[in-house]
């Protein structure tokens, strides 16, 4: 499985309140949530984002609330992968559970810039910055999580295994 797209770059501690503000949590419709994704820190994101694009951020991405609406909004906006130095733990679980690919890679998070074209090979964990001609090795998922991802989320994993 591969992803390839243009990078939207953010800093440290991107919290779930800015990924999808609580004032929109009276909806759980993915398309409606996607329409407000990132709007409190990046008002143009929704206009700019194209299918397949990649989000890159520094440490503690997705901190704060447990709202699964956050990875749902990112996925529904068309983003194919989020790369960060580290993820907040609930966001990490939620992303796996709903099938939004995420990769921890401090080097890539540091070096990749907004507007770069980046390709990711999920099988090898390799991240290629096609604009800069650089490559990085991201942290592969442990086998247990790979099984959940192969099942395309926790629901299918439970249906297949319990």
Partner 1 sequence: MGMTMTQKILAAHAGLESVEAGQLIEANLDLVLANDITGPVAIHEVEKLNKKTVFDKDKVALVPDHFAPNKDIKSAEHCKCVREYAKEHGITNYFEVGQMGIEHALLPEKGLIVAGETCIGADSHTCTYGALGAFSTGVGSTDMGCGMITGQAWFKVPSAIKFILTGKPSKWVSGKDVILHIIGMIGVDGALYKSMEFTGDGVANLSMDDRFAISNMAIEAGAKNGIFPVDEKTIAYMEEHSTKKYTVYEADEDAVYDAEYTIDLSALEPTVAFPHLPENTKTVSEAGEVAIDQVVIGSCTNGRIEDLRIAAEILKGRKTAEGIRVIVIPATQAIYMQAIEEGLVQTFINAGAIVSTPTCGPCLGGYMGILAAGERAVSTTNRNFVGRMGHVDSEVYLASPAVAAASAVTGRISQPSDLGL
User: Which residues are near partner 1 by CB under 8 A?
Assistant: 13, 15, 17-18, 21-23, 25-28, 40-41, 59-60, 63-69, 71-72, 86, 88-90, 93-94, 97-98, 142, 144, 153-155, 158-159, 162
To partner 1, the closest distance from the beta carbon of 156 in angstroms equals 8
**57 close to 16: Cβ distance less than 8 angstroms:** no
To partner 1, the closest distance from the beta carbon of 92 in angstroms equals 8
28 or 124: CB nearest partner 1: 28
84 or 118: CB nearest partner 1: 84
25 or 132: CB nearest partner 1: 25
To partner 1, the closest distance from the beta carbon of 132 in angstroms equals 27
């Amino acid at each position: 499985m591969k992803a390839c797209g243009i990078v939207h770059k953010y800093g440290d501690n991107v919290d779930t309140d800015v990924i999808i503000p609580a004032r929109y949590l009276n909806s759980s419709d993915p398309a409606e949530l996607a329409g407000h994704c990132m709007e409190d820190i990046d008002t143009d994101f929704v206009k700019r984002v194209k299918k397949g694009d990649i989000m890159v951020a520094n440490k503690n991405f997705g901190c704060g609330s447990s709202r699964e609406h956050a990875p749902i909004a990112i996925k529904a906006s068309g983003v194919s992968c989020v790369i960060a130095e580290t993820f907040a733990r609930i966001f990490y679980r939620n992303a796996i559970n709903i099938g939004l690919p995420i990769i921890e890679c401090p080097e890539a998070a540091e070096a990749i810039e907004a507007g770069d074209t980046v390709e990711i090979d999920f099988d090898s964990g390799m991240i290629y910055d096609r604009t800069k001609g650089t490559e990085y090795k991201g942290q592969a998922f442990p086998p247990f999580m790979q099984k959940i991802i192969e099942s395309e989320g926790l629901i299918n994993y439970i249906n297949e295994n319990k």
